[in-house]
Amino acid sequence: MEFRSTTAAATLVIGALTLGAAPAHAQQPETPNLAYSTTLVDKTVVTVLRGGTFELSKGTRLEDGGVERLTERDGTLVRADGSAADPARTVDIVDVKDATGAVAVALPLDFRFGEVSVPVRPALDEDDTVLRLTPEKPAGLDISQPLAVKPVASEVENQRALNNLATHFGLATAIGGFVGTAIGATIGCVATLVAGCIGGLATGASVGGIIGTIVAGGPALIATGIEYLTTVQAPDGTTRWADKPKPQTAAPAQAEPAK
């Protein structure tokens, strides 16, 4: 089974998930509900699940950005084709199971900024109903380099772009946002890994929250988020959110009097 790391997180945090939906014309069976709460405690994201449990498994990152689930055979993790998995590409997967034990959601813990992979350590507590995700600083990451200074858009453009981003997500991005914030607090200004430091966002935690939200929100939110990040780095007046001068309408030509 293959997952997309940019989309799997989105369905985990819808607040109350209703599972096993049938076609509209069929009789709707009673379905188990999952509810959650997510908080950030220091640099750890804590999610409490009601009506289900968490379970940890393993996957491998694919070249196209997806994640394929691995199985264990005789102590070795193997792919669907039977080949041994590359340890360097192995990632944790958090499975969210409903009360019947069926997997409702699979969340690959594959957080990357550019070419940098940020380890996120999972832990389960209280009969597997509490998930703790703690980002760790990547080995060899140098965050002491001076930050790049780039021109930024006006506050009006920034706010309009942020408002547009806000309309595209809700509770469905909570875990991604919290993990991104925790990553920012753990490794510093993560924007340096992507496109230089973003003006108006003083801390790595703020930028990490935005990027984490984009990662968790799926393709539509990624497009909107990229537009937001592009806007806040663009020169004043050059984005689609800038106030443009209204085109001048030429006055209608006066007809010459008949001779």
| Closest-CA residue to 212 (of 1, 2, 10) | 10
The mean pLDDT of 109-114, rounded to a whole number, is 67
Residue 62 exposed, middle or buried by CB count within 10 Å (0-12, 13-18, 19+): middle
If one compares 126 and 152, the residue with the highest pLDDT of the two is: 126
User: What is the C-alpha separation between 228 and 162, in angstroms, rounded?
Assistant: 6
CA distances to 34, 56, 121, 161 from 133, rounded to whole Å, are: 19, 12, 6, 30
Q: Whose structure tokens read 């999610």?
A: 47
With CA atoms as reference, report the closest residue to 182 among 150, 217, 215, 160: 215
Domain map of the chain by residue range? 35-135, 155-233
What are the pLDDT digits (tens) for 191-230? 333 333 333 333 344 444 444 444 444 444 445 555 555 5
What is the chain's mean pLDDT, rounded? 63
pLDDT of residue 249: 56
Tell me if the pTM is above 0.85: no
For 33-79, the pLDDT digits (tens) are 677 777 778 888 888 888 889 999 898 887 766 778 899 998 899 99
